[in-house]
Amino acid sequence: DGGITQSPKYLFRKEGQNVTLSCEQNLNHDAMYWYRQDPGQGLRLIYYSQIVNDFQKGDIAEGYSVSREKKESFPLTVTSAQKNPTAFYLCASGDRLSSYEQYFGPGTRLTVT
C-alpha cells in the first residue's frame, strides 16, 4: 500500500516537554510538508522540505524543528518554546512531476496540558 503514515494518532503531553511527531511516506515523493490546523481554521504551513538534508521554514515555524535525513521520513519536533502547541498536525508529500499535488497523512492530534 502506497501512502503516508503518521504516528501516533493521539498524543498527550505535559507543558514544557518536547514531543516528536512521526511522518513516513512510501510514495517516492521528493517534497514533504508539515501543517497545523486549529479548530475551524485552515491549514498553516510549519516547515517543508524539497530534498533530503534540506528544509525551509513555513509561515509559523517558531517553536518547531524538523529533520530530513531520509527521503521517506520527515519528523516534526514540537518544542517547549511553542506557545500554543495543542492542535491537529498534518504531514503531506508531493512531487514536482505532478505539479506538487499533495497527499496527506491521517494526522496527529496533540494535546498539551
| Interacting residues with other proteins (CB under 8 A) | 31, 33, 41-43, 45, 48, 50, 56, 58, 90, 94, 96, 98-107
Residue 34 CA, chain-centre distance (Å), reads 3
**What does the block give as the cell for 73?**
521520513
Cβ closest to other proteins, residue 17 vs residue 111: 111
CB of residue 104 to other proteins, shortest distance in Å: 4
- Please state the φ and ψ torsions of residue 97, each to the nearest 5 degrees: -65, -20
CB of residue 74 to other proteins, shortest distance in Å: 13
> For residue 108, what are the β-bridge partners?
89
CB of residue 4 to other proteins, shortest distance in Å: 9
**What type of residue sits at position 104?**
F
